[in-house]
């Protein structure tokens, strides 16, 4: 069955994503990939803010609102799912990333920071969520990383945010 599945993916997808992995390895690679795959978003966001043509052509649409709006996600949705494909990730890692990223992006742009939001479920403040993204809309040169705060802290673009005050 495994051989048949691989051959099917090779025919359909041109051997882009065909890599074998075990269950635990897949979970580990998906989680680590998610940390790494957030980096290109940070770079693109910073470029979108600093290069005038990119800002006017693409990123300004995202900042038409002073607070996040789920509708603005439609303008960038396609591009946000290309990273695992470009990096030739395993098919399941790609699907897991896309599902998780789209779900979390919708949550970030909803403007609501519920007690059960992903940002409140992940400890140690390493994940921003709607509050972090709300600050990005209020202070456009901060909080570029889409989900995790570690990239902004590394690149010096992190702005403090509070779960209770950012969405008021």
Among 132, 138, 137, which residue's Cα sits nearest to residue 113?
132
CB 145 within 8 A of CB 160: no
Inside any domain, residue 146: yes
In a domain, 114, yes or no: yes
The answer to whether position 131 is within a domain reads yes
Q: Is residue 122 part of a domain?
A: yes
For residue 15, the model assigns a pLDDT of 42
User: Containing domain of residue 147, as a range?
Assistant: 21-155
Domains identified in the chain, total number:
1
**pLDDT of 152 higher than 80:** yes
Q: CB neighbours of 137 closer than 8 A, spacing ≥ 6? A: 63, 65, 66, 67, 68
Would residue 118 count as lying in a domain? yes
pLDDT digits (tens, 9 = 90+) for 105-141: 788 777 787 888 877 888 777 788 888 878 887 887 7
- Whether 34 is in a domain gets the answer yes
Angle at 114 between CA 108 and CA 116, to 5 degrees: 100
Whole-number pLDDT of residue 123: 77
With respect to residue 49, please indicate whether it lies within any of the assigned structural domains. Answer: yes
Average pLDDT, the chain: 69
**DSSP letter for each residue of 23-81:** HHHHHHHHHHHHHHHHHHHHHHHHHHHHSHHHIIIIIHHHTSSSS--GGGGGGTTTGGG
């Amino acid at each position: 069955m495994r051989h048949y599945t691989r051959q099917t993916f090779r025919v359909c997808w041109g051997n882009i994503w065909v890599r074998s992995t075990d269950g635990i390895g897949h979970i580990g690679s998906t989680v680590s990939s998610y940390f790494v795959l957030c980096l290109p978003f940070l770079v693109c966001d910073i470029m979108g803010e600093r290069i005038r043509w990119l800002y006017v052509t693409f990123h300004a649409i995202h900042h038409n609102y002073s607070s996040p709006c789920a509708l603005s996600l439609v303008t960038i949705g396609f591009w946000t799912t290309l990273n695992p494909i470009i990096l030739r990730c395993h098919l399941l890692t790609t699907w897991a990333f896309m599902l998780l990223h789209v779900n979390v992006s919708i949550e970030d742009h909803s403007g609501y920071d519920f007690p059960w939001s992903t940002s409140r479920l992940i400890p140690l403040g390493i994940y921003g969520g709607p509050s972090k993204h709300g600050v990005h809309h209020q202070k456009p040169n901060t909080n570029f990383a889409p989900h995790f705060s570690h990239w902004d802290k590394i690149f010096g673009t992190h702005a403090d945010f509070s779960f209770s005050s950012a969405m008021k």
